[in-house]
Amino acid sequence: MSKRYHHGDLRRALIEKTLELVQADQVHLVGFRELARQLAVSRSAPYRHFSNVEDLLAEVARQGFAAFIDVLEPVATLKGHTPEERFLELGVTYVHFALEHSAHYRLMFDCAYFKQEDFPEVQTLAAHAFTLLKYTSSACMDKSVSDRDKLELATMAWAFVHGLAKLFIDGQLAKIKNRKRFIRSSCQRFVRRLTTTMKQGVAGSD
């Protein structure tokens, strides 16, 4: 039976239904005709809230990044922790957010948002999320480490946590029984090895 929306809630209903379809690996069904059918509204109703499907998907991605930043920011400024501990906790938090909000996460990093200038809000929020990662990772480095190497470290950290999250989301790591322990252990090893290497001035050297 189609899920009907309450008066005035169609915008939210469209977003929620989009997330349901993405979660079920049915993003190909995200179209105004299909959404209208599933929500039992007229085909023209979605256009009152979004100019097109791309606009709807971008809003879902924007909301995802906003929630992502809300979770990361407190970790990046944790009191009573060493820089390495904050870096570790940020990585663990990153992966857990991705797994707990996998539908949002799938859309957040769609390459379409980063190839065009049509989605400035998504791009700005994505840049801010990366800045938090760079800020936290850079704090682990000696002041003599170059900006280039700090950027390289942040990029490697992003590649690591993003890859780990995607492997879990896509089911390649489904056989791991204790997911939380594996995520923390993996991030601990990454932080320890990478920060040690960077402090020694090996990584990023020509």
What CATH number is associated with residue 150?
1.10.357.10
Same domain flag for 119 and 154 = yes
For residue 201, the model assigns a pLDDT of 57
Q: Answer yes or no: is 42 within a domain.
A: yes
Q: What is the distance between the alpha carbons of residues 133 and 190, in angstroms, rounded to a whole number?
A: 14
Same domain flag for 128 and 190 = yes
Q: Answer yes or no: is 179 within a domain.
A: yes
* pLDDT band with cut points at 50, 70 and 90 for residue 141: confident
Mean pLDDT in the chain?
A: 88
Q: What is the pLDDT of residues 147-184, one digit of tens each?
A: 998 899 899 999 999 999 999 999 999 999 999 999 99
Q: Which domain holds residue 39?
A: 10-48
* pLDDT band with cut points at 50, 70 and 90 for residue 132: very high
Same domain flag for 100 and 162 = yes
Interior CA angle at 185 toward 183 and 188, to 5°?
105
Same domain flag for 69 and 152 = yes
pLDDT surpassing 50 at residue 2: no
Span 199-204, average pLDDT: 52
| 44 DSSP assignment | T
Using CA atoms of 146, 149, 155, 157 in order, give the dihedral in degrees to the nearest 10: -110
pTM metric for this prediction: 0.86
pLDDT surpassing 90 at residue 88: yes
Q: Answer yes or no: is 206 within a domain.
A: no
pLDDT surpassing 70 at residue 82: yes
Q: How many domains does the chain have?
A: 2
Task: Identify the helix (H) or strand (E) that includes residue 194.
Answer: helix 179-199
pLDDT surpassing 90 at residue 34: no
Same domain flag for 145 and 82 = yes
Report the percent of the chain where pLDDT is more than 90. 58
